[in-house]
Amino acid sequence: MANDSMEWSFQTAQGKNHTPLSLENVHVVYNIRRGEVQAVRGVDLELHAGESVALIGESGSGKTTLGLAIVRLLVKSAQITQGKITYRRDGREVDVLSLKPKEMREFRWKECAMVFQSALNAFNPVLRIWDQMLDTARSHGWNDRQAVRQKSLELLRFVQLDPERVLNSYPHELSGGMRQRVLLALSLLLEPQVLILDEPTTALDILTQRTILDLLRQLKEEQHFTMIFISHDLAVAAELADRIATMYAGAVVEMGPTEELFYNPRHPYTLGLIRAVPTVAGGFEELFSIPGSPPDLIDLPSGCPFHPRCSFATSRCREEEPSLTQVGPDHYAACWHWHDVEKELERTPLHRGVHAIQQGGAS
Amino acid sequence: MAPIFELRNVTKAFGAGKERVIAVDSVDLTIEQGEIMCLVGESGCGKSTTGRMVAGLLPPTSGQILFKGQDISKLDRESYRAYRRAVQIVHQDPYASLNPTHTVREIITAPLLRHKKAHSRADAEKRAIELLEIVDLTPAEDFMGKYPHQLSGGQRQRVSVARALTVEPEFIVADEAVSMVDVSIRVSLLNMLSRLKNEFNVTFLFITHDLALAKYFAWEGRISVMYLGRIVEEGPTPRVITDSRHPYTQALLSAVPEADPELARRKRRMELRSADIPSLLDLPPGCTFHPRCPFFVEGQCDTLTPQLEPIPEGGRVACPIRKSERIELIAL
């Protein structure tokens, strides 16, 4: 599409196990007046080609900061203090954290695009959608107006919008759901390999949300996009993710295949989240909240940061922070007591899966 | 005993001429003492406007709102004040509804003193501590001197509820009261509200866009589904959730994402004829859902406005065509 100015090193062999994005021990710190906010603390993540990974967790868990770190759009007060982010395409790899600003701009749309939560803020209010599409293409050296128009029309049709009408509209003339879809089309314009979506359906009405979820599923299943979903909503993860990473206090505390995480969680925090969220079609179940509130990221609790809220906590948890260990096939959890979580689930199984469906609406 | 609230043909219009918008259209709704009534629907369906009218914050354009059998627009000064005290509203955003320059102590004691629920400062202080304990802000003494910004979202929402409780309300309108709170804390807030219902016999109008929350909180109560200003279906929660009859309710239930991958996979999709919601400024004739409804019947749905009719399974449905048809949303 455009000339390549990034410095690539030829290294990886491309195949089925191709890994477009690897994060190694990534740390992000915000410097504020009160001190250092440890927003991301040592995250390792391997994103395989064609898979979608959901980062779930509550506000302040570090999931959005991590997404912003990958495309290096962090605010000035934030700093990536440690770690390595490696991006690969066509058998070559590049160190994302050492890219120069110009290279980074190119990387951001053409290789790895991020779709933000507030779709209105992402647009320039005085430009028509067409001009924003064209601007984006031009700033990446794509100057063929006709081709850009063709691609834009095709993408807008894909996101189920009336393409001609939308291209001639200003952002304020579109509804929230339409803007979110335009943003998705815009992010696909330069055919990135990796798509990062931050709360892609939050604040949208149910039926609009469904349209977006179905589109994303289509991207995943038919076009095999590699995607990272950032969401506080477990339902979005259940619908779209192949793998889930639960984040708490800036760290990944559990990671595994979606079904494993939902049906056999091994970290007490993941279990707590699942037990706090009702389903609609799955019969009536009792819900439990997680006691306490999220930790102060400036002054983290000692040991495992979840221990003050955890019913499994022992003195060891107050002293030593556990790291991720394997608890099942492709399934990792950072908990000293994951065996106890397993036993607990044998005693009181989750009201999920086929079991819940067969019970239907029985109370 | 008269129901605590009865809405009779209540309509609320905003603006005039070409800009006139009917936010709530001919709503009939009865809420019995001690029950939980849940209003669900998407943005712009009129659920919050209905809540504000019930709380006395907005007058209806036409129709009557009866509080314990009496038309609130015809109450004398004294009875009107009693009604306004008896009905409290808890808003979505506790950041916006608490005065940032007041401590929790001031936020709770001021209404106690103003409404003569406490006879002295010391009395108000004691009562404030009791109220904070009721909403699970313990140890209460620690919270009294705090400002809203020193509290988490969930704690702020508890303060809002404690403030509403100062006047010993019989009825609380909870407008998206837990929507902004983190998942892990939501349930404890809902359980706290349930306790108010059980221990203090508070009746709830619970307004939400979240069907899963509605199901959980109002399982023993009722759900009313609103679409473009009208109630399209109403009934006991288990019936509405497991055996909905109005195509709009069914569309919502089939579209809502599930926090369970297996359920999500097995759920039957309902294809709508159009993804776009009509503008309130230009409503379709007949049933306003007809341009999107997969069961659309020409000549009937686009001409006649369906009225809510009772069904034997419980509640009422505003769809003469589908009200007797059961559909399974989950494929086993």
Q: Whole-angstrom Cα distance, residue A95 to residue A103?
A: 11
Please tell me the least confidently modeled range out of A63-72, A113-122, A273-282, B319-328: A113-122
Q: Whole-angstrom Cα distance, residue A173 to residue A129?
A: 10
pLDDT digits (tens, 9 = 90+) for A138-191: 988 888 999 999 999 999 998 888 999 999 999 988 888 888 889 999 999 988
- Using CA atoms, how far residue B332 sits from A64, A214, A265, B117, B245, in Å, is 37, 21, 24, 56, 20
ipTM of the complex: 0.88
pLDDT digits (tens, 9 = 90+) for A65-116: 999 999 999 999 999 999 999 999 888 899 999 999 989 988 988 899 988 8
The confidence score (pLDDT) of residue A176 equals: 80
CB contact under 8 A, B184 and A353: no
Q: Whole-angstrom Cα distance, residue B282 to residue B263?
A: 37
Which position has the higher pLDDT, A294 or B78? B78
CB contact under 8 A, A232 and B267: no
Q: Assess whether pLDDT exceeds 70 at residue A1.
A: no
H/E segment holding residue A40: strand A35-47
Q: Assess whether pLDDT exceeds 50 at residue B143.
A: yes
- How sure is the predictor about A4, in pLDDT bands with cuts at 50, 70 and 90? low
Which residues in chain A have Cβ-Cβ distances shorter than 8 Å to B276?
175
- How sure is the predictor about B184, in pLDDT bands with cuts at 50, 70 and 90? confident
pLDDT mean across residues, chain B: 93
For range B61-89, the mean pLDDT: 96
The confidence score (pLDDT) of residue B48 equals: 94
Tokens 């359920």 locate to B263
The confidence score (pLDDT) of residue B87 equals: 97
CB proximity under 8 Å: A 259-278 to B:
259, 262, 272-274, 276-278
Q: Whole-angstrom Cα distance, residue B95 to residue B88?
A: 18
Task: Please report the sign of the dihedral spanned by the C-alpha atoms of residue B65, residue B68, residue B69, residue B75.
Answer: negative
The confidence score (pLDDT) of residue A359 equals: 60
Which residues in chain B have Cβ-Cβ distances shorter than 8 Å to A290?
184-185
Q: Whole-angstrom Cα distance, residue A39 to residue B163?
A: 34
Our CA-based measurement puts residue B304 at a distance from the nearest CA of chain A, in whole angstroms, of 25
Helix (H, G, I), strand (E, B) or coil at A303: coil
The confidence score (pLDDT) of residue A13 equals: 46
The confidence score (pLDDT) of residue A363 equals: 37
pLDDT digits (tens, 9 = 90+) for A208-233: 889 889 999 998 888 888 999 999 99
In B128-196, beta strands by DSSP E: 171-175
Helix (H, G, I), strand (E, B) or coil at A220: helix
Q: Whole-angstrom Cα distance, residue B182 to residue B127?
A: 29
- Work out how many CB contacts closer than 8 A connect A with B: 148
For range B73-83, the mean pLDDT: 95
For range B257-261, the mean pLDDT: 94
Residues found in chain A: 363
Tokens 């907005």 locate to B58
pLDDT digits (tens, 9 = 90+) for A319-351: 999 999 999 999 999 999 999 999 999 998 888
Which residues in chain A have Cβ-Cβ distances shorter than 8 Å to B256?
206, 210, 235, 280
Q: Assess whether pLDDT exceeds 70 at residue B125.
A: yes
- How sure is the predictor about A3, in pLDDT bands with cuts at 50, 70 and 90? very low
Please tell me the least confidently modeled range out of A199-203, B145-149, B301-305: A199-203
Q: Whole-angstrom Cα distance, residue B216 to residue B204?
A: 14
pLDDT mean across residues, chain A: 89
CB contact under 8 A, A357 and B219: no
String of b and e for B296-311 (b: at least 16 CB within 10 Å)? beeeebeeeebebeeb
Q: Whole-angstrom Cα distance, residue A211 to residue B132?
A: 43
For range B184-204, the mean pLDDT: 91
Q: Which of B177, B182, B239, B253 is nearest to B211 (CA)?
A: B253
CB proximity under 8 Å: A 288-327 to B:
288-291, 293-294
Q: Assess whether pLDDT exceeds 70 at residue A356.
A: no
Given B154, B187, B257, which is nearest A287 (Cβ)? Answer: B187
CB contact under 8 A, A205 and B209: yes
The confidence score (pLDDT) of residue A9 equals: 60
Phi, psi of B21 (to 5 degrees): -120, 130
Contact B321, B293 (CB under 8 A): no
What whole-number percentage of chain B has pLDDT above 90? 79
